[in-house]
Chains A and B, each alone.
Chain A
Amino acid sequence: MKTKSLFVILSVFSIITLISYACGSRDERLGKVNNNQQPIDSLINIGKVSLGYGKSYAGNVPVTNPPKQSTISKVTFFIENSGSMLGYVKKANDYKNAIVALSYFPEFDNSKKEFYFINGTSNQSKKSNISLNLIGSDPDLLKDNLNQSSFNKNGDPRYSDLTRMFEKALSCAKSGEISILVSDCIYDVGEESDPLTALKIETEKTKKVFRDRLTSENIQTIIIKAESQFEGNYCFASKKGTQNLNQKRPYYILIFGDSKLLNKHFTEENISKKIAGYVSMARFMKIDNIKIPYQATNQNSKGIFRFDKTNKNKLINAEKDRNGQGFQFSIAVDYSSLPFPDAYYKAKDNYTPSGTFKIVDIYTSTKKIPEVTNFNPSHLITIHTLSSPYGNMEITLKYLIPTWISETNTDNESGIVGETKHTFGFKYLSDAITEAYQYKNKQLNISSFKFEILK
């Protein structure tokens, strides 16, 4: 009797449990069917509900605003046609090829184009004026005018005024419009008794022109250094006179425009392939409010830790490796919104890790990192310490001007024969632009990645 009643109770209970579990499973299955019918909703919910997925940024999750305009509506070319540029257009060479290639840039296919020659000076004592001559809107017309005859007959080729050229070019860069200035970037201070002082004064004016423009808009400046055969008279900037040259000489293509627009259309890879005689390039841009998605990951880790459930950049229960290999983890970052070349991100010197942490490796991950769910990492930065890892840890990506900028400068024009790499006074120009941007920049580094490591 007692065994029988025990079996009855057991059987009833088992049946109830099985039925309730089966009903639950069915509900879950139905729920999954509904989820499958609305995949977009469920994807959205993953982002909304899962707290851990939205914390890749150290601070608040940023709202990515789409660029105001993703296409270039208009491009204005300013080709310096002062006497010092004549040597570039005597014969077919890389200078001509580069400008023609630039005028036919695929990114400009649907853009309105205007081509101008620019020369002359606003200097009262030189009895000249800034001269802006419209060549036309057809790249073929520009191509036909890239010769010494056209350079000589437009405006006042005796002088050039870099500051005013920048002013003109910068004023044409607004919203979806960009401007391109092609120049040898040599300040025209030839008749001054102290050319270097005159250069400094002139660059102060340049600085102000940039500052004024940067106040109202987020204008980026790209300087492309290129070289071409130069066959003609080199006009000394620091003294009177000329020197006949038949050699390679550098010249510069400066592109001005909205930062997002230039980041999208003018990557180094894109430019270097299309500009004949391309040497290097540098970007000057306002770097405030740049948000780079990042997240701590387990990749290449040493020691143990747990990711905090609500903030993946907080590592808790952290312990160094038991075999004395220290503490190590990797940071997944997405640099896809930045315009710098890959080498820039992979250079350890471009980072400053805090405390005792050191960068072990920076690489592009070939496989998907499952724990990084709300962005696609472009790079992984592995950091390591042998000391105590605890506390706040920060690693910054520095904003550095490429070294070619300073290496291009020379203050001496006497050895111009055979000089194919340097430009007189280029440092003053680059410093002026750099300082103008630094003055406007609210942050010194491109981005900071912050972590908290707790016991």
Chain B
Amino acid sequence: MKGILAAIYETMFGLYNQAYDLIFTALYNDGGYLKFVLTWLLIPLGCWLLFYYIWRFPYGRWWHWILWLVVTVILVFGTTWGIANSEILASSNQDLIDAIADPESGYEAYAQTLPMKYATINSILTVAISIIYSYVMKQFSKVQTHLPF
């Protein structure tokens, strides 16, 4: 299971760099990838449940849906950035801490670029999953049956 989650980021989005394997191993071992996946699965789920089943305004327009999507993406982006930062740059893995602290290793500079990359990937995945969630949820919504289209 962990291997499949890691493959989404490492293989599908090509984020793996063999020169900094320690980071990817730490994310794999410490459950970082699971947190990333849960972020883009659960936050949009919550957001779109609110949109389709709690928001009772009957005259919602397509730009309402777009605005909600933007909010969802921002939430996922921020959360992913936070998790990545915590899992990589503020990791409790002593080997990774040592590697980042070693100026000759180049780990610190590379590690600092990663939270933004993971956040961007999760934002893309959020857009995709939001469309799926929307098309499923609108079927069972009593108010927003016409959104997004």
Number of residue pairs across A and B with beta carbons under 8 Å? Answer: 93
- The answer to whether A370 touches B98 (Cβ under 8 A) is yes
| B105 contact from A14, A46, A307, A368, Cβ within 8 A | A368
Mask for B13-36, Cβ within 8 A of A = 1, else 0?
Answer: 000101111100110110000000
B55 CB within 8 Å of chain A: yes
| B79 contact from A21, A31, A53, A298, Cβ within 8 A | A21
- The answer to whether B107 touches A370 (Cβ under 8 A) is yes
A134 CB within 8 Å of chain B: no
Question: Please, how many angstroms separate the alpha-carbon atoms of A305 and B11 in the complex?
Answer: 11
Question: Please, how many angstroms separate the alpha-carbon atoms of A28 and B90 in the complex?
Answer: 10
Chain B residues with CB under 8 Å of A197's CB are none
Knowing A6-B64, A52-B29, the reply to whether A309 touches B57 (Cβ < 8 A) is: no
- The answer to whether A21 touches B98 (Cβ under 8 A) is no
Chain B residues with CB under 8 Å of A148's CB are none
- The answer to whether A51 touches B29 (Cβ under 8 A) is yes
B22 to chain A, nearest CB (A): 5
| A53 contact from B2, B55, B95, Cβ within 8 A | B95
A155 to chain B, nearest CB (A): 62
Interface residue count on the A side (C-beta < 8 Å): 38
Chain A residues with CB under 8 Å of B56's CB are 5
| A46 contact from B2, B95, B104, Cβ within 8 A | B95
B59 CB within 8 Å of chain A: yes
- The answer to whether B93 touches A309 (Cβ under 8 A) is no
Question: Please, how many angstroms separate the alpha-carbon atoms of A296 and B67 in the complex?
Answer: 49
A8 to chain B, nearest CB (A): 10
Chain B residues with CB under 8 Å of A307's CB are 18, 21, 25
A301 CB within 8 Å of chain B: yes
B48 to chain A, nearest CB (A): 11
Chain B residues with CB under 8 Å of A10's CB are 71
- The answer to whether B82 touches A21 (Cβ under 8 A) is yes
- The answer to whether B94 touches A317 (Cβ under 8 A) is no
Chain A residues with CB under 8 Å of B18's CB are 298, 301, 304-307
| B25 contact from A9, A25, A50, A298, Cβ within 8 A | A50
Question: Please, how many angstroms separate the alpha-carbon atoms of A25 and B67 in the complex?
Answer: 27
B105 to chain A, nearest CB (A): 5
Chain A residues with CB under 8 Å of B57's CB are 1-2, 5-6
Q: Can you spell out 9 A-B residue pairs with CB atoms less than 8 angstroms apart?
A: A2-B59, A6-B64, A25-B86, A51-B29, A298-B19, A298-B21, A306-B16, A368-B102, A371-B25
